[in-house]
Amino acid sequence: MQQIINFVIRNKTFLLFLLLFSIAFALTIQSHSYHRSKFINSANFLTGGVYGTMNSVDQYFDLKTTNDILSEENRLLREQLFNTAGIEDSTYIDSSYSKGLYRVTIAELYKNSYSLSHNILTLNKGKNDSIKQDFGVMTSNGIIGIIDNTSNNYSTVLSILNVKSQINAKIKTTNHIGSLTWDGKSPVYVQLEDVSQFAPVKVGDTIETGGESSIFPKGIGIGTITSFETDISGDTYTIQVKLFNDMTNIGTVYILENLDRTEIQSLENKSNE
């Protein structure tokens, strides 16, 4: 208390000035409408700026929640699209193959890889989320690989940028089938091999999943044709495909589970006995 009294005594002249200035300022604002309106506008500007900044900060920290909500809505829409006949075809998905067979799970990429010859991705979903080997993985732009192994909370994905990867694919406009592989060179391009020489291949045509497996439904986008050449045998084409996905920048993914996969594989195994 003594320190406060000493402070007031030492600064009494300055404090008296502030008091008189405040009184004069208040009287001026009260007695002149012009000054009062200017003061109110200035105060509103300052408080508006403060509240605007605070709102922007709140929105920034709410982005994660907003993104989760949008991802869940996207998952539900994709699941409905895969499982509802009669929806018009889109750039990436041909729903005519869908007959209520697929369940979609959202996951986040935990670790990416695109510069090796055997690229493996890691996702933050595993056995505890009912994820199993040979489930398909895609983004909103197209496929990125197939589940290779799982632990309780994580799973690894055999990327389409892996020299061991082989996925059934086709030319969208003609339905000619081939095998999608990767030559280990560029993360931007993959190759569609063993396409019949009788296929009318055109630069710019879309390549999509062929649907001749229990992993991916037919019609999920992969990329577009940039060039093609005849194989040494002269019987087939090798087609250069520019991916829809930027494989160097993957975030949210969708894991596809074919609910009839076990039944299909059991039947196929019996046929091969």
Structure tokens at 56: 């922007």
Range 41-273 has CATH code 2.40.10.350: yes
What is the C-alpha separation between 166 and 145, in angstroms, rounded?
Answer: 10
pTM of the model: 0.67
% residues pLDDT > 70 (the chain): 67
The residues spanned by each domain of the chain are 2-31, 41-273
pLDDT, tens digit, 9 for 90 and up, residues 255-270? 999 888 778 777 877 7
Residue 130, C-beta contacts closer than 8 angstroms, at least 6 positions apart: 105, 257
Q: Which residues of the chain have pLDDT under 70?
A: 1-2, 6-8, 15, 21, 24-100, 272-273
Residue 15 carries which DSSP code?
H
Pinpoint the alpha helices (H) of the chain: 2-10, 12-31, 33-82, 261-271
Rounded Cα distance, 238 and 230, in Å: 6
Q: How far apart are the first and last CA of the chain?
A: 97
Token pair recorded at residue 219: 């019609």
Tokens of 55: 């709102």
Average pLDDT, the chain: 79
**Chain centroid, CA 35 distance in Å:** 54
